[in-house]
Homo-oligomer: A and B are copies of this chain.
Amino acid sequence: MLPSEGDLHTVAIGDVTTEAGATIADAAIAVRRWGELRGEPDGENNILLVEHALTGDTRADDWWCEIIGPGKALDTDRWCVVCTNALGSCYGSTGPASEHPDGDAWGSRFPAISIRDMVVAEAAALDALGIGRVHAVLGGSMGGARTLEWTLLYPERVSYALVIAVSARASAWQIGIQSAQITSITQDPAWQGGDYHATGSSPDAGLAAARRLAHLTYRGELEIDERFGTSPQSGENPLGPFRADDQRFAVQSYLEHQGKKLTERFDAACYVALTEALNRHDVGRGRGGLNKALHSINVPTMVVGVDTDILYPYHQQEHLSRNLGNLLAMAKLSSPVGHDAFLVEARQMDRILRNFIALTEQAPSGREIAAARGEYAI
């Protein structure tokens, strides 16, 4: 039922009705897995569900190559690692760039989705694969937001959770900087109301500008400064008598490169859709508020943050640690790199993930705790 190891598999999940009441007809979710499934697909098993970040994809063995594999922290000789592409993305799951049932791109017809919608779609994909439960869900950034929602929407399906570099809801600052990114895309004349996919032009300039901004929130200012400082780009003079766009500091060239790279692999409308979902991230919505929602979580959850994270400052993970109903552990990455440290500080992440796996083999699971409370059968 699971796809062959490492291969991209697309799972049809039928219509998805979003939290805000729109419908995505004939949706699909892309999935990959590594390692053999052991145990009961609908009971105790060895599945680790890995949730990717904003522009990530199902290739968790690539973007987390130091973490996932035989003998690594997420040891594919022992664990069955599954990674799904988020609803709204462009790596196999249905999003604005995907084909609508009428044959054109979804474009502006793709509705606004929430983190919860992503998790509902992902759960439907696991249903279609015959997987009723997983040993753990884990992820960072947008993947951490999805992980949190897994523990609230489907606590009976998740034994343990690891939430990295995210918050219980979008902060106003995050909404501000994320909305600036959305605006830079939608104000690109090539945006065409979101229906550019068949026009031969696309808002690449807007997407690149959005990514440049985003990158300044993904990387710590210490790391960026250590790398570039006030150095000029090689062969250019940013200190000339007149400002000129082609006479840059090295950091400008670096950011432009980051922006351009994204336009070569990502769709602008998908970027808007996923960024909008981050704006709407709020585990408290409709659940009596933020802390009541967090307190209701009985899935044992480990929280990880980065000391220099600009986008999701560490106090937001401390907030989670104080308010989660069943905190399994807390860990802090110490790094000049900022938010992206969970992707690049391999040595620290290795230790953290090994600790997490060990804890999941010792502490009672959310299901065991709930069963002891008589909340649902184990």
| Given contacts A171-B225, A172-B227, A229-B171, A22 and B186 within 8 Å (CB-CB) | no
Taken together, the copies of this chain in the complex come to 2
Q: Decide if A173 touches B224 in the complex (CB within 8 Å).
A: yes
Interface centre among A175, A242, A285 (most CB of B within 10 A): A175
Contact A252 B179 (CB under 8 A): yes
The residue among A112, A175, A243 with the most chain B CB atoms within 10 A of its own CB is A243
Given A230-B282, A241-B18, also A249-B212 (CB < 8 A): no
Question: How many interface residues does A have (CB within 8 Å)?
Answer: 59
Which residue of B108, B241, B272 is within 8 Å of A111 (Cβ)?
A: B241
Contact of A176 among B18, B172, B179, B212 (CB under 8 A): B212
Given A209-B183, A221-B171, the answer on whether A176 and B216 have CB atoms closer than 8 Å is yes
CB atoms of B229 and A172 under 8 A apart: yes
21 inter-chain pairs at a CB distance below 8 angstroms, sorted by A residue, are A18-B241, A108-B242, A171-B221, A171-B225, A172-B225, A172-B227, A172-B249, A172-B251, A173-B216, A176-B224, A176-B251, A176-B252, A177-B213, A179-B249, A179-B252, A179-B255, A180-B213, A184-B184, A222-B315, A230-B282, A243-B272
- Chain B nearest CB from A169 CB (Å) reads 6
State A339–B172 Cα separation when bound (angstroms): 17
Q: What is the minimal beta-carbon distance from A287 to any residue of chain B, in angstroms?
A: 13
Question: Is A20 an interface position by the 8 A CB rule?
Answer: yes
**Beyond A174-B221, A180-B216: 7 further Cβ-contacts under 8 Å?**
A18-B241, A20-B241, A111-B242, A173-B221, A173-B224, A221-B313, A230-B282
Cα separation A241 to B111 with both chains bound (whole Å): 6
Q: Interface of A with B (CB < 8 Å)?
A: 18, 20-22, 108, 111-112, 114, 169-177, 179-180, 182-184, 186-187, 205, 209, 212-213, 215-216, 221-222, 224-225, 227-230, 238-243, 245, 249-252, 255, 272, 276, 279-280, 282, 285, 310, 313, 315
Report the minimum CB–CB distance from A282 to chain B (whole Å).
Answer: 5
Q: Is the CB of A255 within 8 A of B22?
A: no
Closest to A108 in B: B242
CA distance A171 to B250 in the complex (A): 12
Question: How far, in angstroms, from A209 to B182 measured CA to CA in the complex?
Answer: 12
Leading 10 A-B pairs by shortest Cβ distance: A173-B221, A22-B241, A172-B228, A172-B251, A20-B241, A171-B225, A112-B243, A172-B225, A172-B224, A173-B224
The complex places the Cα of A240 from the Cα of B112 at a distance, in Å, of 7
CA distance A250 to B313 in the complex (A): 21
- A171 engages B224 (CB within 8 Å): yes
